[in-house]
Structure 1
Amino acid sequence: MATTAKQNTNKSYWGWLAVIGVFLLTKAKWLLVILKLGKFATLASMFISLWAYAIFYGWKFAIALVYLIFIHEMGHLVAAKIKNIPTSPAVFIPFLGAAIGIDPKKIDNAKTEFFVAYGGPLAGLISIIPAFALYMTTGDPYWVLVIQLGALINLFNLFPVSPLDGGRIVSVLSPNIWLVGLLILIPVLFISPDPILILIFIFGLVTWWKQFKKNTDLAIMKHEENVLTKINKDFQFLTNNNTGWPKDIDHSEQDLTANQYTSLFVKIKERKDQINRYLQNNTGFTFPVLQEKKRTEIKKNKAEKEILRRILNEMNIREDTLEVDTAIRFASVIENIYNKNENRLLKIRKEIKRIKTYYKTSVGTKVKSLVLYLSLAILLAIILVFASNILDSSQLPGL
């Protein structure tokens, strides 16, 4: 028995909610497992999606939808391949579209992210061309439905909220645009509380918050860099002046070295105690965004405390008596701590550089990207209106 439009709508609504619930509850771990299965996952998930769409909307609609989503994802894969970025095969997710796995660390800058993201909607535009040709040849309004659906999917994907393609595309201009997109989405959600839009809003908000926190992360890393650099200067002094303790070393020289070593320990410990007092006096709740400066300061102190805690533990001095273990080889311990700090500094400086340069692009690149983005959005909008006008005066039997 054929289902009515109202029944289809209700089934679709609850079907979407069920899929979204499972997706959130599992935190997408199942998707990561599927992505590792390779090309088989693409084929299997494609047929599952085809079957799911067909149950609610009919086979003709399901085939069109899967075809359009497939071409869209192939656009991302081709763009990533051009940039030599490894990806996993595409995996279809019923009622949510499809996804490909890309390691964010393989994308060095927003310009590359724009290129990979733009490949999807651009391929989506190209996927509509055969439907145009078939409609002009046959006059069958079904092909207009394919045109409308293709334009709608890809135009929707251009909305400037991450993780949609539009959000990743506009990041080359400024990631601050994501907040504008979220603010626009809020009244839309009140007017039409669609589960897919709700899911996009939630993920978009999380992505924006992570980006907003980048300034805090950067401040913390810079503080860690300063702390480690300062401490290593003290350790370098000891390293340069003490290369080991031979058996015939003069006892007074050893005492002097032990005193220097202990003094450095005391200095580090006093700073750690100072941080503890600060943190004890700042244990109350701080509001995100509104009290971000205070939140950042607290996090900087916590990061420094962890660095100092690690170093004090490795210095092997009893805090109650400040006695140095007589078996300790000072040069070896000092060098070990120094090298660990240097390795950490290399990682921090690399990450600081990545964060500071990721969204830096020339004015020319920004202008070209904006023109490409708006041109594609306008063209898809025109196609959508064109197809909708034809469908308004046509009927689509058997869908």
Structure 2
Amino acid sequence: MKNKKTWGVLVGTGLLILSKLKFLLVILKILKLQTLISMAIYLWMYALIYGWKFAAAFVYLIFIHEMGHTYAARRLKLPVSPAIFIPFVGAAISMKEMPKSAKDEAYLAYMGPVFGLLAFLPAFPLYFYTEDPFWALVIFLGGLLNLFNLIPITPLDGGRIAAGISTKLWAVGLIILIGYSLYTFNILAIIITIIGAIQWYKIYKQQKNLVEDEKEVTSYMTIYRQLKEHAEHASVGNFTYYARSFKGNIINEHLRDVFLILNNVEELEETEEQDRLIIDEFLFRFNEQVQKIKGEFEQTASYYKTDTKTKLKLFMIYLGLVVVLAASTYYGNTIIMESEAMKTIIGE
């Protein structure tokens, strides 16, 4: 059984890598049944190891979880791809457009575990009524699956929720995953740990560079004002010479490319009125690019800024989900451990 599990994880990891290849996604898109096909493959591979009953329960729980993300994305008017099931890894939807803020990202993230919780709640009365330990297994799987997803590190849901509270929580999630990876040597956990560490460093570096980015934006805005003031009084030739003196102070390639417009002043050698039109176009394009750079900076700077009330709300939702899911996992596991039939099904 352990050998089967090991091979299963290896196959799943390989499929995860293959799923990133564009040609596979194109083929699935052409079929327009990517969710159904990948779900069937997922179900079949799990059924080979754990049986159809276990596989059906697991696929159902994952599917409802992903539907929670899809529902949230539609509420936020964010286009997403259909869910793709990756054997021994899970399922995922890809966003074609990023959320506008960490608050929206947190909402998109926690709707997965919320739907996941709703998915296995009916298993409680079903177990009480039938006393069939299978429903305890559904409770255990649903609790564990969604609880693991709440570990506060990206790319897990907990990491995206933590982004709306404090990115410092990612350190906690990283410690949890590192400890779990070392204890179990779980390949999937190791991969998530690596991805999480890279993402954390990327955000840390981005936040650290914000001060320099702000100075750069301020510098570009100052240059634009100086150019505009100079264009009102200087001759065409004098302005062209003056404008080019700023080119060395500019890092952004799009802004540097705007200076090519001034070459037309010398190439055309037409009237001063036509040259003025070229300078006006230069100033317009320059300002357009500066405003774009400014907008991107402001979006990055404000993305992780969430008001205290929202942070508290997100934290309480997160804490509530963790408590309920942890209790459900413990409850389901307790029943399973007392059932010889379930021990056999899950390979104990």
Task: Report the CA distance between 1:34 and its aligned residue.
Answer: 6.5
Distance (Å, rounded) in 2 between the aligned partners of 1:28 and 1:177: 32
Paired residues, number: 341
Matched, 1:258 2:237: yes
Partner secondary structure for residue 315 of structure 1: helix
Task: Report the CA distance between 1:153 and its aligned residue.
Answer: 0.2
Task: Report the CA distance between 1:12 and its aligned residue.
Answer: 2.2
1:85 partner letter: L
Q: 1:268 to 1:131 in 2, by over 3 A?
A: same
Alignment of structure 1 residues 1-399 onto 2, 5 Å: 5-23=1-19, 27-29=20-22, 33=26, 36=29, 40-105=33-98, 107-216=99-208, 218-219=210-211, 221-241=213-233, 257-265=236-244, 267-268=245-246, 272=248, 303=251, 306=253, 309-316=256-263, 324-325=266-267, 327=269, 329-395=274-340, 396=342, 397=344
Distance (Å, rounded) in 2 between the aligned partners of 1:263 and 1:366: 49
Partner secondary structure for residue 316 of structure 1: helix
Query: What is the TM-score normalised by the length of structure 1?
Result: 0.77
Partner secondary structure for residue 136 of structure 1: helix
Partner secondary structure for residue 81 of structure 2: coil
Q: 1:217 to 1:340 in 2, by over 3 A?
A: farther
Q: 1:30 to 1:57 in 2, by over 3 A?
A: farther
Distance (Å, rounded) in 1 between the aligned partners of 2:175 and 2:219: 39
Q: 1:216 to 1:334 in 2, by over 3 A?
A: farther
Task: Report the CA distance between 1:169 and its aligned residue.
Answer: 0.9
Distance (Å, rounded) in 1 between the aligned partners of 2:140 and 2:171: 29
Task: Report the CA distance between 1:184 and its aligned residue.
Answer: 2.9
Q: 1:257 to 1:376 in 2, by over 3 A?
A: closer
CA contact 2:123–2:138 (8 Å) conserved in 1:
yes
CA contact 1:35–1:90 (8 Å) conserved in 2:
no
CA contact 2:258–2:286 (8 Å) conserved in 1:
no
Give 1 or 2 for the bigger CA radius of gyration: 1
CA contact 2:47–2:54 (8 Å) conserved in 1:
yes
Q: 1:332 to 1:236 in 2, by over 3 A?
A: same
Q: 1:308 to 1:20 in 2, by over 3 A?
A: closer
1:112 partner letter: D
Structure 2: gaps spanning 5 or more residues: none
Aligned equivalent of 1:288: none
Partner secondary structure for residue 98 of structure 1: strand
2:296 partner letter: E
Task: Report the CA distance between 1:384 and its aligned residue.
Answer: 1.0
Query: What is the TM-score normalised by the length of structure 2?
Result: 0.87
Q: 1:257 to 1:8 in 2, by over 3 A?
A: closer
Structure 1: gaps spanning 5 or more residues: 243-255, 276-300, 318-322
Distance (Å, rounded) in 1 between the aligned partners of 2:39 and 2:280: 57
Distance (Å, rounded) in 2 between the aligned partners of 1:124 and 1:326: 67
Range with bigger deviation, 159-168 or 218-227: 218-227
Q: 1:228 to 1:204 in 2, by over 3 A?
A: same
1:133 partner letter: P
CA contact 2:106–2:160 (8 Å) conserved in 1:
yes
Q: 1:32 to 1:136 in 2, by over 3 A?
A: same
CA contact 1:16–1:195 (8 Å) conserved in 2:
no
1:214 partner letter: Q
Task: Report the CA distance between 1:36 and its aligned residue.
Answer: 4.7
Q: 1:385 to 1:138 in 2, by over 3 A?
A: same
- The CA RMSD over aligned residues, in Å, is 2.7
2:45 partner letter: A
CA contact 2:152–2:162 (8 Å) conserved in 1:
yes
CA contact 2:13–2:89 (8 Å) conserved in 1:
no
